[in-house]
Amino acid sequence: MNDWLDEINWNSDGLVPAIAQDHQTGRVLMMAWMNREALALTAAEQRAIYWSRSRGKLWRKGEESGHVQKLHELRLDCDADVIILKVEQLGGIACHTGRESCFYRVLEDGAWKTVDAVRKDPHAIYSAGHAHD
């Protein structure tokens, strides 16, 4: 039933990098890791579910922030070792800093310059004690 999962070249930790991309604009929102269970659940539930390496558990994107990523399409690259999720980002915020995308810094003149505004104060998104979603 889940034979498609066997076609993925999981890394030595049993993980595959997953890039979340806005299904309408194509903007890269974030990158996270998925294990077999996370990817199977993502496909089954039609929402992004990642593997949190720091917490050692499944991470249902938006479970704390409400910023769920609704899945529109899953893609696998030519080497079968990177996943792209085309998603609808609820709330328009993917990053725990309160920005649309985690990729909000641009290299300019040898320094990283922040070019995207915070859409919502992270303290207003997360309850005390939670560093990130």
Task: Please measure the distance between the N-terminal and C-terminal CA atoms of the chain and give it in whole angstroms.
Answer: 31
Confirm or deny that 77 is annotated as ligand binding.
yes
Confirm or deny that 79 is annotated as ligand binding.
yes
Tokens, residue 9: 């070249």
Confirm or deny that 102 is annotated as ligand binding.
yes
At 39, give phi and psi (nearest 5°). -70, -40
Judge contact between 70 and 47, C-beta under 8 A: yes
Residue type for 83, please? Answer: I
Confirm or deny that 133 is annotated as ligand binding.
no
Confirm or deny that 116 is annotated as ligand binding.
no
Annotated binding site: 77-79, 81, 95, 102
Annotated binding site for Mg(2+): 77, 79, 81
Annotated binding site for Zn(2+): 78, 95, 102
